[in-house]
Structure 1
């Protein structure tokens, strides 16, 4: 097996339920937090062929556990097999092309820049590492996704 696992069609690959573990490190303060939860990629019911990314779980920061959630829209991209990732309100976030098993994306947010590296390790494991830098933030967010077994986590 090579270092990365190529994905022919990112939307078909991601559909289902994934266990999520995220480490958040503030490089300025040295503080660390953790998110644990699930992400479900389910078909968007608008006929466009995209997936709704629905993440929920618990985020622990400075010893305080809080519920956390976010929603994204993974739409069919160009070329075929890629995705155009958008925030829940439709604003552009980043592109996603995992045909080589690895992708780097960028997203400017005010004066900060988010640089995300996506790697597919095998059929049931993938990782994102976001490096956020700028005047407001200096963070590294490392997220590991593991496909959950069973009908809701089975790859199509």
Structure 2
């Protein structure tokens, strides 16, 4: 087995609760922040999952509550997902059948480029590199399944 763990059905894999640790780094200024919390993926009536993340984000020494909600819907191919914002706008596709996926999301003049990797049944990671006139960030998130 290589460094990535193939996932035949991304929605089945993600279902449940995960502990989340995220680092946020601005490579230009060296400023760093962190998020710690939980993410739950609950079933939706349409076969998808409702993703809800909540926790604490610390940036420049200031801690604030933070949360977000996404919708992970069945994708175009079996075992894949179509990820959307809570209001239904498209975010990115997700195909972990090889254990690794790259996705882009344009946001105004900035570009979010995501890399998703699965290590095993209970560990996966996302790395979003954000570049453009408004933002320059690297967001690295590690997920560990809660048992």
Task: Bin the TM-score by the shorter chain.
Answer: over 0.9
Shift of 1:2: 1.8
**Alpha-carbon distance in 2 for matches of 1:137, 1:30:** 13
**Alpha-carbon distance in 2 for matches of 1:136, 1:78:** 32
Q: Corresponding residue for 1:154?
A: none
Shift of 1:33: 0.1
Aligned runs of 1:135-146 on 2, under 5 Å? 135-146=133-144
Residues 77-103 of structure 1, C-alpha deviations (whole Å, 9 max, x = no match): 010100000000000000000000000
**Alpha-carbon distance in 1 for matches of 2:63, 2:46:** 37
Structure 1 unaligned spans of 5+: 150-156
Q: Corresponding residue for 1:19?
A: 19
Q: Corresponding residue for 1:87?
A: 85
Structure 2 unaligned spans of 5+: none
Report runs of 4+ in structure 1 exceeding 3 Å deviation: none
**Alpha-carbon distance in 1 for matches of 2:51, 2:2:** 28
Q: Corresponding residue for 1:99?
A: 97
Residues 14-67 of structure 1, C-alpha deviations (whole Å, 9 max, x = no match): 0000000000001221100000000000011xx310000000000000101000
Q: Corresponding residue for 1:4?
A: 4
How many residues end up aligned between the 2 structures? 147
3-state SS of paired residue (2:126): strand
User: TM-score, normalized by length of structure 1?
Assistant: 0.93
Q: Cα RMSD (Å) of the superposition?
A: 0.6
User: TM-score, normalized by length of structure 2?
Assistant: 0.99
Q: Corresponding residue for 2:33?
A: 33
